[in-house]
Structure 1
Amino acid sequence: MVSLGGIARKMFGSANERRIRSYHSRVEAINAMEEEMRSLDDVALAAKTTEFRQKLAEGTKLDDLLVPAFAVAREASRRVLGMRPFDVQLIGAMILHDNSIAEMKTGEGKTLVATLSVYLNALSEKGVHVVTVNDYLASRDALTMSKLYSFLGLTTGIIVHGLDDEQRKAAYACDITYATNNELGFDHLRDNMKFERGQMVQRGHNYAIVDEVDSILVDEARTPLIISGPLDDRSDLYTTIDAFIPLLSEEDYEIDEKQRSANFSEAGTEKLENLLKEADLLKGASLYDVENVAIVHHINNALKAHKLFSRDKDYIVRNDEIVIIDEFTGRMMPGRRYSEGQHQALEAKEKVSIQPENQTLASITFQNYFRMYSKLAGMTGTASTEAEEFGNIYGLEVVEVPTNLPIRRIDEDDEVYRSTEEKFQAIITEIKDAHSRGQPVLVGTTSIEKSELLATMLKQSGFDDFAVLNARYHEQEAYIVAQAGVPGSVTIATNMAGRGTDIQLGGNVEMRFERELADVEPGPEREAKEAAIREEIKQLKAKALEAGGLYVIASERHESRRIDNQLRGRSGRQGDPGRSKFYLSLQDDLMRIFGSDRMEGMLQKLGLQEGEAIVHPWINKALERAQKKVEARNFDIRKNLLKYDDVLNDQRKVIFEQRLELMDMQDVTPVITDMRHEVIENMVALYIPERAYAEQWDIDSLQRGVAETLNLALPIKEWAAEDGIAEQDMIQRITEAADKLIADKTERFGAEIMTYVERSIILQTIDNLWREHIVNLDHLRSVVGFRGYAQRDPLQEYKAEAFELFQALLANMREQVTTQMMRVELVREEQAPTPPPMEAHHIDASTGEDDFEEASYAVPPANRNPDDPSTWGKVGRNEMCPCGSGKRFKHCHGTFEQA
């Protein structure tokens, strides 16, 4: 029976089809201008850019220029790149212009699609950012497409690791900037730590097109970007708190080894409060008051260190340091440290030297960074499964763009085996069979370990004609993936491999030219060799087509259907034939953890024999349901994390905007003066309550407060003894004395220097208090979840207490700025001390590795001698090694350092 929805779709088309149809009239208009554009010479075609910009200046809207601008960009692409965008590519570009995600199959030319929308939006001269997943793709796309933009009179910049601030500023000043998501986010955070507007490198967030949008805005968005630096030495605090734990008895705490959690009982909390009061570490009456979140965090860490971490099992003590032991391999992990003070708690427990904790100086999630753009768009081959997340979080609609030619790939039903070994044996048999026919094979695995296991089993079976990709070196990876379409080739890759690189049957012409003709000068010899390579690839493609095209064999289903679709999408590009099949076993993670009991029972009833497989569409449906459940669960987790981060983000916006205003102000004196006056009013109100009798005034405390905060020795007691004096008179006298002290300093220092000092003090104070505030919010978030046991909403509790902490931050800022200004004196410093380096971190969501880089004080690449490591300075772990090996530093000379 056909549903009403099905009937409606048949009559009117789906929402996606209607959206695609809405672009057809503009496609026809662009096509109608093609002859006119072809008749223009190069100079006249390039001059169209100036003409369009003039029209924008006169008030024409960008949308009204879409048709002529796309016609110009298409013709320029045909002349410069030798590629004329198809009609479906024009539609994809319009979707990008309309603040949406264009879902286009692999091989449909997404990189070219972006150029049309980039050109149109770059006409506004506000900057367009093209975002890619790694430095290699950013460099490759910028190098290729800058020829087109340059022809049309636009400038192109590129942001990669290792650039200094001047180089970054120049790149952001270009009409179009190619960059990775990490570099963009870190530059934004660093900009908001600068002290002058002129030092900032970014010029705003106008329009961004995110390539592989699902990878960047979903996968990598699981973890925030963090810039951190060393904290002040707090070893005394760790040692003091550590001494409390042995004083507790078993009824004072509860340990859950399965969940690896430790909590204090009511009796334990009371005992700790008394101990903390004696040590003068408790603020207020209760341990769980908002002012004590940091202390609670440290006490919890100390309890875990004593009760959950075992020496010689979880860690060892060697050379006066704690070395973590990997729970899976049993190997030592030198250089790795537990985060958020846990490592320091273990150091205090074992009485070894306590290393300074790293403090978060600034952080932001990708969700909140990319939502800053006035206009955002994305493109990928697989986004529809995450459409709800893109819509809810980023306000992006996913539009599926039809392929230029019909898809001829055959997607076969999954084969399910009893064990992993049986499954791999079946895959090996299939690989050998396809190889014997000359059919190129791409084998997808879910992890590096599984790809290496399959490779080992293949070798043991007597087959060693294959390549293994582990996504370690992007350039080498891109070449191998590009050649994976050669007849008879076998490539084993993890789900990370090959993103952004096309697998072309017969091989990739451009990659062959780069690899084989790099040293051949332009001329007849090179032209002959190029022609020979083209002819060879043409013949190889014919063989691959005859063998059935690329055969994608997947060794497991992922938790996300999107990753499965990415792998499948490698085959059947641009109308080529192809084939895909998934091989599964009951021991696979997805089947074991998320597969329904009914599925396992059904397979057992069928009485599968060893080596036998079951193939049925029902299996595919059951797995899809399991994957949907996992996707929904992961989305809920990300959505919940974002709700907490939104609280911090609202406060971050206020602080960052305040910093910008202060940097832009010619004179910050009125702001400082208002702060000083408010501090004085609050101080007097505290010690001379409104409508209180004179004998109730706390004059001694007021005298001390004036001396400590305002650096003034005033006759407060004498003033208070005068008849008829009121609190307003006291405020006025203290204010006049404070204002006079500042006026005297201004006269001595000079107004210009005083303005510089005032701006420096207020910005530094904001930064220091903001850093403390981030730590406090992290600690608050780690303990606020327990409020759920008291039937209170943890998120609402977090919002309320975060607001209290923010109010306290503002009050502290006024007081600290006032105190520093009243005490500041100018001294000549011989040499400014070198500050410790900052580190930029982003946890790789797929591997769990912390891809940190030291963000400051690196030697520019041009000044490094490859043969002399002493000239390299600080090299980031993920930077290419300066020795020229082509490996990342952590896998080359960085390994020598660690050893």
Structure 2
Amino acid sequence: MALAALARKLFGSANDRRVRRYQPKVDAINALEPEFEKLSDDQLRAKTDEFRDQLAKGEKLDNLIVPAFATVREAAKRTLGMRHFDVQLIGGMVLNEHSITEMRTGEGKTLVATLAAYHNALAGKGVHIVTVNDYLASRDAEWMGNIYRFLGLEVGIIKHGLSDAERKAAYAADITYGTNNEFGFDYLRDNMKYSREQMVQRGHNFAIVDEVDSILIDEARTPLIISGPSQDRSELYTTIDKYIPLLVEEDYTIDEKHRSASFTDEGIEKLEEILERDGVIKSGSLYDIDNVSIVHHLNSALRAHKIFSRDKDYIVRNDEVVIIDEFTGRMMPGRRFSEGLHQALEAKEKVKIQPENQTLASITFQNYFRLYKKLSGMTGTADTEAAEFADIYGLAVVTVPTNVPIARIDEDDAIYRTVEEKFNAITDLVVECRERRQPVLVGTTSIERSEMLAEHLKKKGVKDVQILNARYHEQEAYIISQAGVPGAVTIATNMAGRGTDIQLGGNLEMRIAAETEGLEGEALEKRTAEIKADVAKRKAEALEAGGLMVIGTERHESRRIDNQLRGRSGRQGDPGHSKFFVSLQDDLMRRFFPERMEKILTSLGLKDGESISDGLVTKAIERAQTRVEAHNFDIRKNILKYDDVMNDQRKVIFEQRLELMDDEHVTDTIADMRHDVVDSIIAKSCPDRSFPEQWNIEQLQAACKTYLNIAPPLPEWIDEEGMDLEVLRERLIKAADEFAAAKSARIGPDTMRQIEKSIILQSIDGLWRDHLITLDHLSKVVGWRGLAQRDPLNEYKQEAFELFSQLLNNLRELVTTQMSHVELQVRQAPPQPQAPDLSQLKASHINPQTGENEVSQAAAQANAPRGQLTPEQMARTRRNELCPCGSGKKFKHCHGAY
């Protein structure tokens, strides 16, 4: 250790050496600045075409980094009045090298992204900038879009509620902003479409992920899922819910660490007696096969009542249960918990119960973001997770130094015996800061705690407190932007990914935007000058008071979240303070420290109403946080191992769908499937190396009718001399092919090609949906194989492969059967060729550890065609022509849809 420290002191760390490596390019960019300042706006804008011409002639993209970055810097100065610092140029180079830029809060990561985004957009293949919410996507696209549009690039935004046409236009832009969920859901939805024209994404070239640790680590525990509605069982949820309040503590056990609950033997006996009495179950045992569904509902109801708390895990608003994101503290309207938990919460809160959903498509964030040819990210806290980024994503983490040295003072944690004592101490500190006009930001972990603290402050006379939590997230950007005003007290439910700077004296731009609306001319100039003077005066007052005081009301499970809260203070070299308050009753302390901790602290001198600050205890808390982080990393790795198995199959299915959509006709593929089915039915009825008299003719005849819709004269064939399996195969294939050819001639070749493509794609989708459900069930039970000394993952791989092989066999049989029996029927207003109906889809975000499932309604437009066509019109209309019915759609999207 001593030698390593000595070597670092002498040579610098690997991170220091990498940062120094960028300095020559920074110097070269700076050297170009005087030359670029002399260019006119048109000449600067022409640089984009100049760079693209060079790329078209074979120049490598990386060789343009110096002039491209110089161009962006000059454009930023002219459009936003912002000049990239040298450290921001370094950050942009890190992003360009498939790496993560770690820069402190307030160092301007949003501006840094413009460098790498513009540089990579020159290739014309699209750049995706991924944010954590719709507000930041819209804000950054509009704000930074000034730079891109000035330089001749198009900017798009992907957010909830857009139609497919709007999404396709946004993805066609040079640079597209959007949230991680929307990008992932669009990928899944695209692979449920029936033609290239319906797909909205155009590939995965380069992505910059903002708050990369939040998205690729915290939220990576949660796979993305597209689901559709299933059977409504709302009455059963309501019935089951009334039994949970009848239980006492001896009837169930709670595991807070894993957020799970289970019934004891006493509880099961009590429930069996009550349920049988009320006629809910038929037999006396809950675990009879007929009662499996009842047990599932009981477990969901128990978790709803005993694990999930109102105003912490969810809130009730407008007769709906709305999830609160555990990482950001925001409401997540439209998203739902999985496996019946959300319905159980709705029953508990006596609101309308929505039906459960069936999984149609899914992918993890790990496998989605690994689709990109080039991936990078930026955040203020990534170095502690560098090993995971390298292992799963192949991303290196580079810590970029601050533009100005950090002046914030981070004080030791204050540890109290009870929550009440801790809150009293926090209240006293807030009052003390307020008296000296020092702005205060208090971070809490739940709505309940934030409102409890607000009540404490009101009792002490601090009434004008701004509460920023899931209830008021609509105003969060403005509230947080003014948290640096002298004497301001802001309570926030979790600072992860807020994305808005806290500037001492208040955010000038947001005040001007809010207070000058409707003003013009001299009135606008006058009011703007007044606001600037007021902000400057307030900033001086806040600096004099010591800068922003950040108070943490308890330690979060993740050290990164705590560091993000601390990082809100000390922006751009401003002074500031941070301090965390901890009690022995906090969730983290109760989960990871037994009662002996209180004895240890008492021995160290901890008394009622007093706090203690001890390095050993602080290190113990950090070790507990490290254990939680390691546990979550194991969960993510385990999810990825299982999802990698599904991902290989997903790639095969999705790639096959694309090939089928691109083919003008799939007649040869249909024929190959038909021939394989002939081989299959012969193998089942006629054993290999057998004589004709040993063949099961009745079974073969029935199979020919079922799968091929033909009735060959099998008895006559068998009586012929020289008949063997090969001759039988040739004759059956010939008969099946002739039947298919006759049907195609009768219906019309063009129409038949549309029918073939539609049937094969619908069959793939239906079987894939069933396959996903089977794999989901398999993944939940395969863990028990470990009790038999068998590796669950290997068992899962083997059985998943067998299931996939069966899926392909079922596909051949299903397509062949449908094609042999299909007949053309002229119907008025046939449905769009989409399977399933996208208007019925839900986009879900499941946490496998807790079973939580967040769902958002998918937007889809489906306009039915009008009018009626004759068979002759159907037969002679080509698939890409306008439909003769007058709907204005192409024939393949109208009456040609099957």
Q: Aligned in 2, Cα 1:342/1:826: closer, same or farther, shift over 3 Å?
A: farther
Deviation at 1:212, TM superposition (A): 0.9
Q: Distance in 2 between matches of 1:338 and 1:147?
A: 39
SS in 1 for 2:840: coil
Deviation at 1:215, TM superposition (A): 1.3
Q: Which residue of 1 aligns with 2:857?
A: 854
Deviation at 1:714, TM superposition (A): 1.5
Q: Which residue of 2 aligns with 1:565?
A: 563
Q: Aligned in 2, Cα 1:129/1:706: closer, same or farther, shift over 3 Å?
A: same
Q: Which residue of 1 aligns with 2:533?
A: 535
1:438 aligns with 2:437: yes
Q: Which residue of 1 aligns with 2:360?
A: 361
Deviation at 1:713, TM superposition (A): 1.4
Pairwise mapping of residues 480-879 of structure 1 onto structure 2 (< 5 A)?
Answer: 480-496=479-495, 499-521=498-520, 523-595=521-593, 599-832=597-830, 835=837, 837-843=840-846, 850-857=853-860
Q: Which amino acid aligns with 1:186?
A: F
Q: Work out which of the residue numbers 282, 294, 299 in structure 2 matches 1:305.
A: 294
Q: Aligned in 2, Cα 1:155/1:306: closer, same or farther, shift over 3 Å?
A: closer
Q: Which amino acid aligns with 2:697?
A: I
Does the aligned pair in 2 maintain the 1:549–1:579 contact within 8 Å? yes
SS in 2 for 1:166: helix
Unpaired runs of at least 5, structure 2: 241-250, 255-259, 266-285, 322-335, 346-352, 864-898
Q: Which residue of 1 aligns with 2:405?
A: 406
Q: Distance in 2 between matches of 1:344 and 1:143?
A: 39
Q: Aligned in 2, Cα 1:86/1:335: closer, same or farther, shift over 3 Å?
A: closer
Q: Which residue of 1 aligns with 2:123?
A: 124
Deviation at 1:730, TM superposition (A): 0.9
Deviation at 1:362, TM superposition (A): 1.0
Deviation at 1:592, TM superposition (A): 2.1
TM-score, structure 1 as length reference = 0.84
Q: Distance in 1 between matches of 2:853 and 2:355?
A: 19
Does the aligned pair in 2 maintain the 1:261–1:304 contact within 8 Å? no
Q: Distance in 2 between matches of 1:587 and 1:767?
A: 51
Does the aligned pair in 2 maintain the 1:93–1:113 contact within 8 Å? yes
589-598 vs 386-395, which deviates more? 589-598
Deviation at 1:648, TM superposition (A): 0.8
Q: Which amino acid aligns with 1:590?
A: L
Q: Distance in 2 between matches of 1:847 and 1:780?
A: 18
Does the aligned pair in 2 maintain the 1:262–1:303 contact within 8 Å? no
Q: Which amino acid aligns with 1:671?
A: T
Q: Aligned in 2, Cα 1:648/1:153: closer, same or farther, shift over 3 Å?
A: same
Q: Aligned in 2, Cα 1:472/1:661: closer, same or farther, shift over 3 Å?
A: farther
Q: Distance in 2 between matches of 1:304 and 1:702?
A: 40
Pairwise mapping of residues 91-490 of structure 1 onto structure 2 (< 5 A)?
Answer: 91-231=90-230, 302-303=291-292, 305-306=294-295, 309=298, 339-340=338-339, 358-490=357-489
SS in 2 for 1:21: helix
SS in 1 for 2:688: coil
SS in 2 for 1:47: helix
110-119 vs 588-597, which deviates more? 588-597
Q: Which amino acid aligns with 1:303?
A: V
Deviation at 1:819, TM superposition (A): 0.6
Deviation at 1:406, TM superposition (A): 0.4
Q: Which amino acid aligns with 1:842?
A: H
Q: Aligned in 2, Cα 1:766/1:848: closer, same or farther, shift over 3 Å?
A: closer
1:1-46: per-residue Cα shift (whole Å, max 9, x none)? Answer: x611111101110111111111011101111111111111111111
Q: Aligned in 2, Cα 1:330/1:154: closer, same or farther, shift over 3 Å?
A: closer
Deviation at 1:308, TM superposition (A): 8.2
Deviation at 1:600, TM superposition (A): 4.1
Q: Aligned in 2, Cα 1:843/1:678: closer, same or farther, shift over 3 Å?
A: closer
1:614-651: per-residue Cα shift (whole Å, max 9, x none)? Answer: 11233322222221121111111111111111111111
Q: Which amino acid aligns with 1:302?
A: N
Q: Aligned in 2, Cα 1:231/1:14: closer, same or farther, shift over 3 Å?
A: same
Deviation at 1:446, TM superposition (A): 1.3
SS in 2 for 1:615: coil
600-609 vs 645-654, which deviates more? 600-609
Q: Which amino acid aligns with 1:198?
A: E
Does the aligned pair in 2 maintain the 1:471–1:496 contact within 8 Å? no
Q: Which amino acid aligns with 1:562?
A: R
Q: Which residue of 2 aligns with 1:880?
A: none
Q: Which amino acid aligns with 2:802?
A: E
Q: Which amino acid aligns with 2:425?
A: A
Deviation at 1:595, TM superposition (A): 3.8
Q: Which amino acid aligns with 1:548?
A: G
Does the aligned pair in 2 maintain the 1:227–1:360 contact within 8 Å? yes
Does the aligned pair in 1 maintain the 2:337–2:853 contact within 8 Å? no
Identity of counterpart residues, as a percentage? 61
CA RMSD between the two structures: 3.1
Q: Distance in 2 between matches of 1:344 and 1:358?
A: 11
SS in 2 for 1:580: strand
Q: Which residue of 2 aligns with 1:268?
A: none
Q: Aligned in 2, Cα 1:310/1:145: closer, same or farther, shift over 3 Å?
A: closer
Q: Distance in 1 between matches of 2:591 and 2:846?
A: 25
716-725 vs 386-395, which deviates more? 716-725
Q: Distance in 2 between matches of 1:858 and 1:683?
A: 42
Count of aligned residue pairs for this structure pair: 794
Deviation at 1:691, TM superposition (A): 0.8
Q: Which residue of 2 aligns with 1:38?
A: 37
Q: Aligned in 2, Cα 1:357/1:543: closer, same or farther, shift over 3 Å?
A: closer
1:80-133: per-residue Cα shift (whole Å, max 9, x none)? Answer: 110000000000000000111111101100010000111100000000011111
Q: Aligned in 2, Cα 1:849/1:682: closer, same or farther, shift over 3 Å?
A: closer
Q: Aligned in 2, Cα 1:856/1:107: closer, same or farther, shift over 3 Å?
A: closer
Does the aligned pair in 2 maintain the 1:225–1:366 contact within 8 Å? yes
1:511-557: per-residue Cα shift (whole Å, max 9, x none)? Answer: 10111111112x22211111110111001000000000000011111
SS in 1 for 2:52: helix
Does the aligned pair in 1 maintain the 2:87–2:403 contact within 8 Å? yes
Q: Aligned in 2, Cα 1:385/1:814: closer, same or farther, shift over 3 Å?
A: same
Q: Which amino acid aligns with 2:855?
A: F
Q: Which residue of 1 aligns with 2:76?
A: 77
543-552 vs 715-724, which deviates more? 715-724
Deviation at 1:219, TM superposition (A): 1.6
Unpaired runs of at least 5, structure 1: 243-254, 265-296, 316-323, 347-353, 861-899
